[in-house]
């Protein structure tokens, strides 16, 4: 069957959500449960089937000390285990006990409020569980996962391992999407079982209170869906007068709705393993069998540990992928900002960067709405439709509006879903309707469901009746685009801050919003700081791991691999230098000036020592004139001097003997410093670009650098109310000068 729908479905599952599944009042009868007092371990509540376990009538069990039923040695073991269970509700394995002719039983204990719950599970062995199985399985699992960098691949390996470990007929892993629907990502099945690979289960199949229990209690076993529950006697805890919370009990009885759901699915035994990532239920591993199937505690524990390791690996892979993606986004953003930093008019600069603009958000089209004009790039709706969309956007005050189903939120968009099913709109003014809008085209998807997700049988007559059909049901989803990723939204907000700071200053000033300009510039500085801060650690990791790999495996690598590895390290180091320069550039505008008397002779000598370390083997003749003591921020001025001398050394390296000089002029109101070299120089028609961020007059292949050093010099000098300028002749040299006023700003 095929139908069309929007991606969000609203199903009435409130009746299921209200079912009190944590206090069912009974247990699954393949085991036994008693609730004992904390002092004296007297039985105050028990499952009705304990009469078969202890060979006594129920009235003779209730109120009796536990050591009369299981022996003093067993009670001592249980008591010791409870010492470890006082701080957490998760069950603790106490060991195995022999109960006469009944055989051997695993004993699992935990506390639940004022209740002390002891569970007995029958086992075939004649001793305690051998948890050495856990270490062997964990070791093999960890070794394999450490070499796999794909979420799909680690999930496939996990379901195979779990099926091998449990012996269940079908094991599949599913993750939850933004609608809480479940998508089956991996599956391992025995012959004769239907496959659900690639199919979806609707969110309504797992009520909210069940999801909360899955987050708290990671493993859930139902050994036989045809069981008749063993009720608790008395039904209410005599100590509290309330139902006993069995949320963490492994034997907890299951909702009849879920048991019927299992039978409708052709499953009599199931076990679920929660995959928790950052405190959220990311997905589940579900194990099914057509026949009753009991899984002992040590195997369940091994499966729980596998699930935790798998969740950590998935989280690591996803974070690494997200980091790499954000790195690419920020690289594109830097390219756009470089274009927007040009002195030309804002709209012209934006148009020149239109391809980067579309690539930044993986969009097919974009619209710039600015100063009453609408400029379209790529595949977009007609201008009149975009203007109507802007009117709708203007009714709100959101900085960012995004949707992957625009026609659902803005019905007129149904007329242009082919080119604009998805939209990301970014406000670029706080007072006017100025927007940058990206459009994504429609992506028609065929979604396979395990049964029709929109219907439940007899919902009105019996709200808790589960659906009966799991037959493959196909849904065609239209009018939607690829979803907007979190990293894209974060970069869009950073982009907005940058635009407000470096481009819209003129527009805001013309509108009489001078007070807004200061905040916009601070936002730009915050953007630079956040980009630098976010990128420093991963770039250092890249360099570190590249160096480590070269050290450990260098002897076994061929020349090509060594060259590739060196390129990785060099590129990461350059990116790290760019990040450090960006951070320094940001700090120039954020830090206060600390003015003090500064000996410029010593400042220049210190800078020469630093740059000479990088120029070892070269012949440089230095000419340093008498330099005065001035009042300035010494730290900032030292950085400016170092940048100027470093440039002089770099751009004169083609000379057999480089000549670099520094001298000062003392004027009435300022002191002027000149830094001269006889290097490659530059053409004066490009002099206005020298001190802009990311501006370079020479190719990077010729002279390395990040394009931020001279911008830093200008910002430092301007912070002192000074001026900076340069003169040059191509292939003959250059002179860079700056002035520091004698009367500094307060």
224 and 277, same domain (yes or no): yes
43 and 187, same domain (yes or no): no
State the total domains in the chain: 4
716 and 596, same domain (yes or no): yes
Q: Tell me whether residue 452 is in a domain.
A: no
Q: Which of 560, 589, 618 is the last residue of a domain?
A: 589
**Which pLDDT score is estimated for 287?**
95
**Which pLDDT score is estimated for 95?**
85
Q: Kindly report the CA angle at 103 between 102 and 107, in degrees rounded to 5?
A: 100
555 and 596, same domain (yes or no): no
72 and 135, same domain (yes or no): no
> Is 1 a residue whose pLDDT tops 50?
no
Residue 494's contacts (CB-CB under 8 Å, 6 or more residues apart) are: 330, 333, 527, 530, 531
Report the sign of the C-alpha dihedral through residues 323, 329, 331, 334, in that order: negative
**Which pLDDT score is estimated for 8?**
43
Least confident of 228-237, 503-512, 586-595: 503-512
**Which pLDDT score is estimated for 348?**
80
Residue 162's contacts (CB-CB under 8 Å, 6 or more residues apart) are: 168, 171, 188, 273, 285, 287, 303, 306
**Which pLDDT score is estimated for 581?**
56
Q: How much of the chain is in helix, strand and coil states, percent to nearest 5? A: 40, 25, 35
> Is 106 a residue whose pLDDT tops 60?
yes
Range of the domain at 80: 26-123
User: What is the CATH number for 278?
Assistant: 3.30.450.40
110 and 257, same domain (yes or no): no
CA 647 to CA 681: how far, in whole Å? 11
**Which pLDDT score is estimated for 589?**
56
Q: What is the dihedral of CA 229, 230, 236, 242, to 10 degrees?
A: -40
> Taking a C-beta distance cutoff of 8 angstroms, is the pair 345, 373 a contact?
no
109 and 181, same domain (yes or no): no
117 and 137, same domain (yes or no): no
**Which pLDDT score is estimated for 697?**
52
Q: Tell me whether residue 426 is in a domain.
A: no
Tokens (6 digits) for 6: 């929007």
Q: Tell me whether residue 537 is in a domain.
A: yes
> Is 315 a residue whose pLDDT tops 70?
yes
Core vs surface per residue 55-88: b (16+ CB within 10 A) or e: eeebeebbebebbbbbeeebbebbeebbeebeee
pTM for the whole thing?
Answer: 0.59
Q: Tell me whether residue 66 is in a domain.
A: yes
pLDDT higher at 586 or 741? 741
Strand intervals (E) in 86-226:
92-98, 104-112, 115-123, 170-176, 182-189, 200-201, 219-222
């Amino acid at each position: 069957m095929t139908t069309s729908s929007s991606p969000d479905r609203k199903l009435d599952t409130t009746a299921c959500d209200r079912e009190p599944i944590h206090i069912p009042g009974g247990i699954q009868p393949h085991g036994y449960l008693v609730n004992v007092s904390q002092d004296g371990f007297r039985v105050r509540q028990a499952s009705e089937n304990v009469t078969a376990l202890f060979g006594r009538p129920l009235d003779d069990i209730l109120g009796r000390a536990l050591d009369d039923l299981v022996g003093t040695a067993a009670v001592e073991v249980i008591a010791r285990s409870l010492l470890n269970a006082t701080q957490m509700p998760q069950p603790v394995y106490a060991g195995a006990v022999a109960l006469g002719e009944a055989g051997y039983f695993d004993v699992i204990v935990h506390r639940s409020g004022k209740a002390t719950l002891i569970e007995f599970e029958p086992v075939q062995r004649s001793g305690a569980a051998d948890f050495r199985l856990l270490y062997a399985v964990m070791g093999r699992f960890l070794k394999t996962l450490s070499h796999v960098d794909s979420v799909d691949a680690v999930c496939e390996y996990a379901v195979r391992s779990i099926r091998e470990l449990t012996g269940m007929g079908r094991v599949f892993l599913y993750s939850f999407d933004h609608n809480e629907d479940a998508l089956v990502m991996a599956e391992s099945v025995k012959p004769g079982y239907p496959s659900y690979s690639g199919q979806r289960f609707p969110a309504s199949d797992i009520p909210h209170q069940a999801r909360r229990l899955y987050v708290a209690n990671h493993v859930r076993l139902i050994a036989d869906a045809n069981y008749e529950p063993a009720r608790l006697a008395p039904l209410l805890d005599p100590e509290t007068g309330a139902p006993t919370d069995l949320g963490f009990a492994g034997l907890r009885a299951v909702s009849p709705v879920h048991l019927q759901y299992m039978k409708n699915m052709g499953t009599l035994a199931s076990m679920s393993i929660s995959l928790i990532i950052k405190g959220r239920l990311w997905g589940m591993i579900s194990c099914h069998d057509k026949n009753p199937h009991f899984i002992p505690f040590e195997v369940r524990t091994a499966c729980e540990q596998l699930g935790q390791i798998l969740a950590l690996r998935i989280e690591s892979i996803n974070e690494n992928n997200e980091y790499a993606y954000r790195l690419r986004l920020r690289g594109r953003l830097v390219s756009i900002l470089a274009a927007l930093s040009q002195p030309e008019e804002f709209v012209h600069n934006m148009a020149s960067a239109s391809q980067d603009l579309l690539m930044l958000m993986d969009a097919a089209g974009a619209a710039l709405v600015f100063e009453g004009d609408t400029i379209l790039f790529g595949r977009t709706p007609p201008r009149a439709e975009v203007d109507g969309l802007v009117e709708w956007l203007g009714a709100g005050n959101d900085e960012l509006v995004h949707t992957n189903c625009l026609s659902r939120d803005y019905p007129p968009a149904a007329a242009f879903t082919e080119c604009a099913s998805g939209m990301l709109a970014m406000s670029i003014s706080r007072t006017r309707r100025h927007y940058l809008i990206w459009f994504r085209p429609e992506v028609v998807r065929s979604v396979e469901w395990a049964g029709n997700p929109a219907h439940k049988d007899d919902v009105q007559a019996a709200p808790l009746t589960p659906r009966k059909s799991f037959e493959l049901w196909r849904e065609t989803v239209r009018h939607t685009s690829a979803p907007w990723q979190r990293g894209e939204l974060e970069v869009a907000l950073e982009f907005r801050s940058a635009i407000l700071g470096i481009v819209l200053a003129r527009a805001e000033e013309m509108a009489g919003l001078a007070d807004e300009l200061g905040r916009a510039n601070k936002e730009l500085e915050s953007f630079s700081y956040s980009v630098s801060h976010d990128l420093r650690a991963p770039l250092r990791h890249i360099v570190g791991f590249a160096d480590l790999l070269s050290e450990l495996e260098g002897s076994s690598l061929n020349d090509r691999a060594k060259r590739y590895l060196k390129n990785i390290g060099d590129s990461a180091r350059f990116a790290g230098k760019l990040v450090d320069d960006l951070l320094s550039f940001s700090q120039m505008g954020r830090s206060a000036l600390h003015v003090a008397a500064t000996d410029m002779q010593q400042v220049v000598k210190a800078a020469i020592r630093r740059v000479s370390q990088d120029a070892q083997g070269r012949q440089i003749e230095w000419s340093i004139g008498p330099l005065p003591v001035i009042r300035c921020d010494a730290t900032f001025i030292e950085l400016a001097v170092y940048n100027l001398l470093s440039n002089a050394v770099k751009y004169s390296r083609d000379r057999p003997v480089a000549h670099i000089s520094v001298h000062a002029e003392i004027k009435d109101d300022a002191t002027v410093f000149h830094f001269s070299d006889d290097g490659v120089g530059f053409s004066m028609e490009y002099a206005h670009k020298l001190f802009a961020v990311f501006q370079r007059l020479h190719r990077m292949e010729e002279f390395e650098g990040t394009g931020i050093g001279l911008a830093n010099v200008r910002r430092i000098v301007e912070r002192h109310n000074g001026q900076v300028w340069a003169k040059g002749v191509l292939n003959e040299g250059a002179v860079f000068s700056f002035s520091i006023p004698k009367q500094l700003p307060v």
